[in-house]
Amino acid sequence: MSKRNTFFHNLIKPFKFSPSKEGQSEVEEIKNLAAQEQKIFPYETLVAATNKFHILNKLGEGGFGPVYKGKLNDGREIAVKKLSHRSNQGKTQFVNEAKLLARVQHRNVVSLFGYCTHGFEKLLVYEYVLHESLDKLLFKSHKKEQLDWKRRFDIINGVARGLLYLHEDSHNCIIHRDIKASNILLDENWVPKIADFGLARLFPEDQTHVNTRVAGTNGYLAPEYLMHGHLTVKADVFSYGVLVLELVSGQRNSSFDMDVSAQNLVDWAYRLYKKGRALEIVDPTLASSVVAEQAEMCIQLGLLCTQGNQDLRPSMGRVMVILSKKPPCHMEEPTRPGIAGSRYRRRVSRGRRPSATTSGEVDDDSSVNSQTFDSSSNYGTNTTTSATTPTTRSSNTTAEVVDRRGKRPMQGG
């Protein structure tokens, strides 16, 4: 090769992709790159770490499949999530998405150590988080005492920090879409860690799934997301607000029964707040530990986050500013809360459009027979969109990495 040709060859070399000089496919190259970043786990390593995915190592089963506890040779404890086989997503894209998520690093977000593909199997490898998820402590009368006010306030702060990171400081803006007590794990120092972030990226919607389900998490869904599929960071802010009020009150928003005249916890809190009696929602278990000014501030903050008008909800940046101030701190007056949505797994028949009620609930009596609440549909994805436009795939359907105005640069599927 002449000097001149060598020069051009070197110039274009880095842009050559598939197949490369060594005959590597694009997938292999990505695999090798990831391996260098130590993100790929050989299947055999995970089999050994979990004792062949032994039932005794099963931590539980969520919407994406079973989760197993494991221990690596280097001593690290891991949680291995075996994704169920519903996705028809290609391997390359799965690897790319998993790589993206594995770069998300924050004290208040569960670390994704890496991933593995093996035949049809797709697995995610997380850091193991010692304590149970928040819901298992907060809503169990014999356990909630472990969560005194300081711990709850720290959790409110920690989750806000984690969400701020996902929304504003990670490589892409990541909208979680499924913030709820069961997705907050607590480590050995009670540091809250947001789990299940970005999982919808690994399970993009496709036409065949669109008409079969409405994903579901009770009581945390922002009304505009539920009713119109309108997804922005403010949907997470809404769910965060519900979580804050749950932490202060020890009550589950979805199964609230403290006051028959109130529709749910958020509504109850708002009514009492308007009467100047906000502190009445505070969990009696906190009687000896609560700092009243902080609790008052958190209630107002929770109400600001759950306002029906998403434009009035604070950003997570503003939430952090509020939380960092010593009470009493000046805050906006919360306006009417939106009614938190519930999503149920149901079969939506083609051609039949469920109507959305003013409460934000999707009213579809055709679903009654097949309405089996099932967290396995819990991708936090296109609930409303699929419910209202069952045969098309909306541009909102798979987005949780979007820009701050709700547009998404990357398309799954």
Measured from the CB atom, is 127 or 168 closer to ligand ATP? Answer: 127
Query: 3-state class of 130 per DSSP?
Result: coil
Measured from the CB atom, is 111 or 395 closer to ligand ATP? Answer: 111
User: Could you say which of 196, 267, 361, 364 contacts ligand ATP (CB under 6 A)?
Assistant: 196
**HSE, side-chain direction, 13 A CA sphere, residue 16:** 13
Is residue 375 part of the contact set for ligand ATP (CB under 6 A)?
A: yes
Is residue 108 part of the contact set for ligand ATP (CB under 6 A)?
A: no
Q: How many residues bind ligand ATP (CB under 6 A)?
A: 22
156-195 residues in contact with ligand ATP (CB under 6 A) are: 182-183, 185, 195
Is residue 79 part of the contact set for ligand ATP (CB under 6 A)?
A: yes
Give residue for tokens 């009470």. 327
Cis peptide before 14 (omega within 30 of 0): no
User: Residues 178, 196, 283, 364: which is the catalytic one?
Assistant: 178
In the annotation, is 178 catalytic? yes
**Residue 60 beta carbon to ligand ATP: minimum distance, rounded to whole angstroms:** 3
Measured from the CB atom, is 10 or 189 closer to ligand ATP? Answer: 189
Residue 310 has which token pair? 């998403």
> For the window 128-147, what string marks contact with ligand ATP as x by the rule CB under 6 A?
xx---x--------------
Query: 3-state class of 240 per DSSP?
Result: helix
Residues 6+ positions from 192 with CB-CB distance below 8 Å: 108, 134, 154, 155, 158, 159, 162, 184, 185, 186
The b-or-e profile of 63-100 (16+ CB within 10 A means b, else e) is bbbbbbbbeeeeeeebbbbbbeebbebeeebbbebbbb
Residues 6+ positions from 178 with CB-CB distance below 8 Å: 196, 199, 217, 220, 239, 378, 379, 380
Amino acid code (one letter) for 148? D
Measured from the CB atom, is 83 or 316 closer to ligand ATP? Answer: 83
User: Could you say which of 42, 60, 317, 409 contacts ligand ATP (CB under 6 A)?
Assistant: 60
Query: 3-state class of 341 per DSSP?
Result: strand
Is residue 57 part of the contact set for ligand ATP (CB under 6 A)?
A: no
Task: Identify which range of 23-31, 120-128, 246-254, 324-332 contacts ligand ATP by CB under 6 A.
Answer: 120-128
Q: Which residue numbers are catalytic?
A: 178
Contacting positions for ligand ATP (CB under 6 A): 59-64, 67, 79, 81, 110, 126-129, 133, 182-183, 185, 195-196, 375, 378
